[in-house]
Amino acid sequence: MIGLEHILAEATPLLQRYGYAAVAVAVMLEGAGIPLPGAILLGGAALLAGQGEMNLTAVLLTAWLAAMAGDNLGYWIGRGGGRRLLLKAGVSRRRLARFDGFFRRYGVWLVLFGRFFDGTRQLDGLVAGGARMSWPRFAMADVAGTALWVSAWVIGLSALDRHTAPLRRFLTHINPWVAGIALAAFATLLYWLFRRSARQPRVLHVKQTGSSPVLPPEKGATGNGRPETTRRKP
């Protein structure tokens, strides 16, 4: 999060030249995982709308539709190419299945609130697609999350400029922590996906030597491996 004056200085030239198209392209591609200043251009458009230089309703609709389009583009990229890339890189299907289960339980909340912070805003669609989160659940959470984000960002900057100073200070303080936690969680996820289980080297050794592991005899078995039988008295 950065100051309003800086947002205006950065965004105004592009907005004056390209208008709503600049907001649409930047917000959409940012949602698909490309690091573009979508939030800065959206904030600049909100401030210009508050000054009467842009239409507030048009800014809201443009940003909302672009955010949903970008998130869905990232989702399908992650569901297709991202999944195959992880499998080719050596991630086991068992680990991917566990990752899928995690997203089935918590993915809606991650998508719903992930748009409010740097890092998660760019990656939530890609990660949700790679985790094979069902598209209806993703779309439902994304519609609500993008609507909340766009409304808070645009209306907050355009209509409540004086009263958003404490909120902006709070977000300025918390955003680096959230971004750091998101990156640490992403790195932990990659480590967990690519980490070899402790049993894999032993299985590989058995395949190379052609020998089979010696198992302890079952309870009640005799020395020759056959189960012990009880003789009936004559």
pLDDT, residue 197, reads 41
Mean pLDDT for each 10-residue chunk of the chain (234 residues)? 62 88 94 87 86 90 95 91 74 76 82 83 85 89 93 77 52 58 62 52 46 51 51 52
pLDDT, residue 27, reads 94
pLDDT, residue 33, reads 86
DSSP-based three-state secondary structure for 33? coil
Q: Following DSSP, what letter does each residue of 167-187 receive, concatenated?
A: HHHHHHHHHHHHHHHHHHHHH
Residue 233 lies in a domain: no
Q: Comparing C-alpha atoms, which of 4, 17, 71, 75 is closest to residue 43?
A: 4
pLDDT, residue 94, reads 79
Residue 150 lies in a domain: yes
pLDDT, residue 72, reads 95
Residue 94 lies in a domain: yes
Residue 62 lies in a domain: yes
Residue 206 lies in a domain: no
Cα distances (angstroms) measured from residue 82 to each of 66, 182, 209, 224 = 22, 19, 36, 52
Cα(4)–Cα(156) distance, rounded to whole angstroms? 12
Residue 177 lies in a domain: yes
Residue 56 lies in a domain: yes
The label of the residue with tokens 């591609």 reads 29
Residue 231 lies in a domain: no
Instruction: Give me the count of residues in the chain.
Output: 234
pLDDT, residue 202, reads 45
pLDDT, residue 152, reads 86
Domain count of the chain?
1
The helix-helix angle for 120-130 and 20-31 (nearest 10°) equals 50
Helix (H) or strand (E) holding 107: helix 93-114
Whether residue 95 contacts residue 193, with contact meaning beta carbons closer than 8 Å, is answered with: yes
Domain span holding position 17: 4-196
pLDDT, residue 201, reads 46
Whether residue 141 contacts residue 111, with contact meaning beta carbons closer than 8 Å, is answered with: yes
